Structure 1
Amino acid sequence: MRTLVLVSVALLVAACQGGGPVVVDGGRDLGPMDLGARDAGDPCSRSEDCEDGVACTRDVCDGRGVCVHTPDPLSCDDGVFCNGAEVCDPNAGCVAGALRDCNDRNVCTLDRCDEGRGMCLHLPRDFDNDGEADARCAGGTDCDDADPLRGTLQAELCSDGLDNDCDLSIDEAVCGRPPHDQCEDALDVSAGGLFDLSTAGARDDYGALCSGPAREVVARFVLDDARDVTLRADAAGSTQVELRSGCGGGTVLRCDTGSPGEVRRRALPAGTYFVFVASSAGSVQLSVAFDPPTTQPSNEDCGSARTVIPPFAESGSFVGTVDDLTLSCGQPLAGDLVYAFEVPAGPPQDVVVAFAATSTTDAVRFSLRSTCSDASSELGCVRGSPAGGRFRSLAPGPYVLVVEGPAEREVDFAIDVRLEPGTTAPPGDSCAAPIDTPLEQIVHGTLADKRDAIQTPCGFFYRDAVHRFVLSEPRDVSIDLLAGTNGGAFVFGALGDTCEAMLPTTDYCVGGAPALLQRLALPAGEHFVVVEAPGTPTYQLEIHTAAPTSVVDAAGNDTCADAIVIPSQSSVVYRGDTSTLANDVTSIYCGSGARSPDATFLLELTEATVVRLSTAGSSFDTTLLVFLEGAACSNFPYACDDDSGPGGTSSIERELPAGRYHVVVDGFGGHSAGPYVLRVDRGPFPP
């Protein structure tokens, strides 16, 4: 043994003195966490031992008996292209990647991410959307990319001082005029029929009486004897047609703008007439029809009412009639006719009226009243296409029916009036007999046997049904409204504490397909829901309640200078009314200009925070705007939203950097205001 030890020592010394490599073992391995850094997986005997709780890693036990956790980025893919590629973090799991960067750093392309195609699009720069790229970019031909009426696809216009067709020449002598641009070159349409015209390159030479497209072309016709005349201008856009007794200073006989535009004259005398046609689409088809002359109706006012005996039915025309009487559901300047009849002596009877336009699909209106000249004696006013109604159990005596066409054109019509045995109004037909409605149950209803008895703040002249429910204590209330098959039809709903023929404008009223009515902390007592749907007789509603939300009443916050400071708590709910405020804030980026009255709040953040803003529960079509404090609450919001919330309300959820922000509750367009709710929540929020 001694010899062996000596030999070993000798060999060791020799090795230390020689020139060969020296291998030194650091001693016993400290395991998989040498010096604090993992150099191997956990020991295992099967893959089930390797579950690490991270969903996006593939956990297996390899042949060495060691756990291997391989990230699988494909398992994190959310199927959305434009939000970037998700990645698998071995510790955190799936995390969002960077948003897809579609910016190609080329000022001559408009870059956007197309989710449908799953790719970045780099479209030629065309700011005016006229189909031509900016001439300052390679291959571009548009010499003015800010004006859609200038480009190589446009015709040169004389005497406007512009190079309309981008050929580097202004008002060149060869630009000429399109055919039939002036009375001297008017198209002869005396034979009647269909005529294709184009207003491309035309000028506004004669100035129509009604508003609409300005650049017109001219047609003319000659009548040898009196004829009924119908002129109809149809195009892809709006059209304007005007009839004059002469060119230039001739008398304007009728002018109409619409889709289509239409002019009709009854028994137009012999003579020469000019037709001026304009279109926003350029190309327009003019229809000209001549028919035997007809006489003007004689029953145009109360003094000339035509007496009829039900049942009666007839066809007629509003051509040449004027607006003599006021209907509660009527239109200004719409022609009307008057019929008088009696419910004979005996028991009360129902009066059933059916009325419709026959030459178009325009809505028409009728009013039933007991005294012709007294609008307050109106028993009901119905609007529709067609319009129909049942007036129940009317007492014997005289009645007057006033029928009215649309203001925009003179239509033909058909009317039918009959008497039937008197009936009792069904539940829900009026405030006097509301439908008592349970909570937390789906209730199905019909409008087929109802009438338009209630005028709501957001609805129109459609049949409605009245529901009533009772709260024993204050509760938050949410009402789901659906109409038609699978809830696909538009429906209006109004929620109020009282019921009357005209609901207060302060009542909560929304429309949608479906619609959602919400009220916070509704007091104990009875409440009324009015349901109105234009295109279907069937609907359903369900009333949900919850513990009342604590709300803060907001008032006096009319401008950014008067903004209410939002406290730093995680959640706060405000309740106010913009109808008492002024329009101080506008923006072209949301809510059709957001020109309605608005209320302002101040949000202060000391660090980047995810903020959720919602106007759910408001009574009108809201718009939410968020401005950086230094932006003076004008035009360019940091964030905005119109209709992301339920029932035309607004919702914004995003991370805001530290700073001070003005939060503005506004309305869509220029006439949306009323009671509102603003809920402010600060994150983080659970996934």
Structure 2
Amino acid sequence: CAGGAGSPDRVYAMDVPTRSRMRLRMQSTYDGALHVRSDCANPSSEIACNDDHQDTRHSMVVSTLDPGRYYIFADGFSTSEQGDYSMRADLAPVAGGTAPADRCAAAGTVTAGQDVELDTFAAADDYQASCGGAGAPDTVYRLEVRERSRLRATLQQSEFPAVLYLQSTCGQQASEVACAAIGAGGQTELDTNVQPGTYFLVVDGAAQDNFGAARLEVQLENLQALETACRSAPRLRPGRTVTGDTGTSSDRFQATCAGNAQSNDLVYRLQLTRRSRVVITSEQQYDGALYIRRDCTDVTTEVACNDDEGDNRHSRVETTLDAGTYYVFVDGFANNSQGSFTLDVEVSRAQ
């Protein structure tokens, strides 16, 4: 990796007494690289190599190693990267079992609005879900929900590809409420509606060697407040241009596109009396997004989503919909994209 890593390097020996998980982290002032060999002078004995972990100033290698001596190289990309660096090596039993919040009996606690710093590196593989987690270390967190709510949970700055799942009975896959796969860096969130009660959030790896540190964020929103916004949504009428400004609102709804559309939003209602072809376009003074749902508060009912149509000041969704009521959301890309817009709707008979 790392363009051959032909830059100046330093090598370190590490003895592994028993079969273990290994994690190497390096932070550098240059475009660094890490690689590991079982035979110092033999390039073909390389076990793992990493150039960039989240950015060019960080590298990370994880693996499961048998007992023996290994050689760790602090290196650089291609042939001319060099400078200062710091490096840390960690070993943990391959079976885990020593991490905080490792099992249901010792579950940690997560509270909406209060982040949890976690690390599954030394955790055991106790659980799995419908979207993954078999064979990977996991940690579990108890969550109390006091009112009917929309739950959003995500992993920020995750070192590993993960799955995040919610159970009503800890450790019982049959009680699963929702499950989401989350990429390294935390790009996807678990988003579901829940009734009052006690729940358990499990942070798991997507595969056997997927473990590491992350920050768990949880938000709860009162569903009654969201439903009130949906009931009062203005009706869209084909042929009539709507003007608005999302700066007058807040971030209440999210989408599958546009960086999850976690910006201020406004919602409108579209009534169709028959199966129709629907084209909705918007022009914004910001990086906007458009999406449609069948159920206003249920993210799983999204039927269309668009971020940019030609440029980031225009959005367009085109789809064929059955008769019924739909909800159209004017939103913004990722965070803090808001401002004025115009919205147009065209409805014609479906072919």
Q: Identify the TM-score tier after normalising by the shorter chain.
A: 0.5 to 0.7
Q: Distance in 1 between matches of 2:168 and 2:178?
A: 7
Q: How big is the shift at 1:339?
A: 1.0
- Corresponding residue SS for 1:424: helix
Partner in structure 2 of residue 369 of structure 1:
167
Give the greater-gyration-radius structure (CA): 1
Percentage of pairs with the same residue: 12
1:273 matched to 2:74? The reply is: no
1:219 matched to 2:14? The reply is: no
Of residues 28, 38, 52, the one that matches 1:245 is 38
Whichever residue aligns with residue 39 of structure 2, its letter is: G
Residues 245-264 of structure 1: pairs in structure 2 closer than 5 A: 245-247=38-40, 248=42, 252-258=46-52, 259-260=55-56, 262-264=59-61
Partner in structure 2 of residue 341 of structure 1:
142
Whichever residue aligns with residue 252 of structure 2, its letter is: D
1:400 matched to 2:200? The reply is: yes
Residues 71-470 of structure 1: pairs in structure 2 closer than 5 A: 213-214=3-4, 216=6, 219-223=10-14, 229-232=24-27, 235=30, 240-247=33-40, 248=42, 252-258=46-52, 259-260=55-56, 262-264=59-61, 271=69, 273-275=71-73, 277=75, 279-280=77-78, 282-285=80-83, 287-290=85-88, 298=97, 304-305=103-104, 306-309=106-109, 311=111, 314-319=116-121, 325=128, 337-341=138-142, 343=144, 348=147, 357=156, 366-370=164-168, 372=171, 374=173, 377-379=176-178, 381=180, 394-397=195-198, 399-403=199-203, 412-415=213-216, 424-427=224-227, 435-439=233-237, 440-445=241-246, 446=249, 448-450=251-253, 452=254, 455=256, 461=260, 463=262, 467-470=268-271
**Any idea what the Cα deviations from partners look like across 1:58-77, whole Å, max 9, x if unmatched?**
xxxxxxxxxxxxxxxxxxxx
Q: How big is the shift at 1:243?
A: 1.6
Of residues 281, 287, 307, the one that matches 1:479 is 281
> Residues 413, 363 of structure 1: CA spacing in aligned structure 2 closer, same or farther, 3 A cutoff?
same
Q: How big is the shift at 1:221?
A: 0.8
Q: Could you tell me which runs of 5 or more consecutive residues in structure 1 were left unpaired when the two chains were aligned.
A: 1-210, 554-687
Whichever residue aligns with residue 316 of structure 1, its letter is: L
Whichever residue aligns with residue 60 of structure 2, its letter is: V
- Corresponding residue SS for 1:435: coil
> Residues 514, 277 of structure 1: CA spacing in aligned structure 2 closer, same or farther, 3 A cutoff?
same
Whichever residue aligns with residue 336 of structure 2, its letter is: T
Q: Distance in 2 between matches of 1:541 and 1:289?
A: 49
> Residues 272, 435 of structure 1: CA spacing in aligned structure 2 closer, same or farther, 3 A cutoff?
same
Q: Distance in 1 between matches of 2:317 and 2:222?
A: 39
**Any idea what the Cα deviations from partners look like across 1:242-290, whole Å, max 9, x if unmatched?**
2223332786553324343622569998955132746257425573424
Q: How big is the shift at 1:469?
A: 1.6
Q: Distance in 2 between matches of 1:309 and 1:441?
A: 45
> Residues 367, 425 of structure 1: CA spacing in aligned structure 2 closer, same or farther, 3 A cutoff?
farther
Q: Distance in 2 between matches of 1:313 and 1:528?
A: 32
Q: Distance in 2 between matches of 1:264 and 1:508?
A: 36
Q: How big is the shift at 1:212?
A: 5.6
**Any idea what the Cα deviations from partners look like across 1:375-415, whole Å, max 9, x if unmatched?**
88334649676988887663224x22123579999653344
**Any idea what the Cα deviations from partners look like across 1:501-542, whole Å, max 9, x if unmatched?**
1545xx574535223216599998644435563222646653
Does the aligned pair in 1 maintain the 2:35–2:50 contact within 8 Å?
yes
| Superposition TM-score, scaled by structure 1 size | 0.35
- Corresponding residue SS for 1:213: helix
Q: How big is the shift at 1:327?
A: 7.3
**Any idea what the Cα deviations from partners look like across 1:656-681, whole Å, max 9, x if unmatched?**
xxxxxxxxxxxxxxxxxxxxxxxxxx
Whichever residue aligns with residue 315 of structure 1, its letter is: E
Q: Distance in 2 between matches of 1:520 and 1:536?
A: 28
- Corresponding residue SS for 1:426: helix
Q: Distance in 2 between matches of 1:228 and 1:215?
A: 20
Whichever residue aligns with residue 543 of structure 1, its letter is: L
Partner in structure 2 of residue 624 of structure 1:
none
Which one has more relative contact order, counting CA pairs under 8 Å at least 6 apart?
A: 2
**Any idea what the Cα deviations from partners look like across 1:617-670, whole Å, max 9, x if unmatched?**
xxxxxxxxxxxxxxxxxxxxxxxxxxxxxxxxxxxxxxxxxxxxxxxxxxxxxx
Does the aligned pair in 1 maintain the 2:6–2:80 contact within 8 Å?
no
Does the aligned pair in 1 maintain the 2:123–2:139 contact within 8 Å?
no
Q: Distance in 2 between matches of 1:392 and 1:409?
A: 28
Q: Distance in 2 between matches of 1:405 and 1:285?
A: 33
Partner in structure 2 of residue 494 of structure 1:
291
Whichever residue aligns with residue 315 of structure 2, its letter is: L
Does the aligned pair in 2 maintain the 1:246–1:273 contact within 8 Å?
yes
- Corresponding residue SS for 1:368: strand
> Residues 480, 365 of structure 1: CA spacing in aligned structure 2 closer, same or farther, 3 A cutoff?
farther
| Superposition TM-score, scaled by structure 2 size | 0.59
Root mean square deviation of aligned Cα: 5.7
Whichever residue aligns with residue 118 of structure 2, its letter is: G
Whichever residue aligns with residue 394 of structure 1, its letter is: Q
Q: Distance in 1 between matches of 2:164 and 2:61?
A: 22
Q: How big is the shift at 1:216?
A: 3.9
Number of aligned positions between the proteins: 318
Q: Distance in 1 between matches of 2:312 and 2:337?
A: 14
Q: Distance in 1 between matches of 2:79 and 2:134?
A: 28
> Residues 496, 337 of structure 1: CA spacing in aligned structure 2 closer, same or farther, 3 A cutoff?
closer
Q: Distance in 1 between matches of 2:281 and 2:221?
A: 37
> Residues 522, 319 of structure 1: CA spacing in aligned structure 2 closer, same or farther, 3 A cutoff?
closer
**Any idea what the Cα deviations from partners look like across 1:161-196, whole Å, max 9, x if unmatched?**
xxxxxxxxxxxxxxxxxxxxxxxxxxxxxxxxxxxx
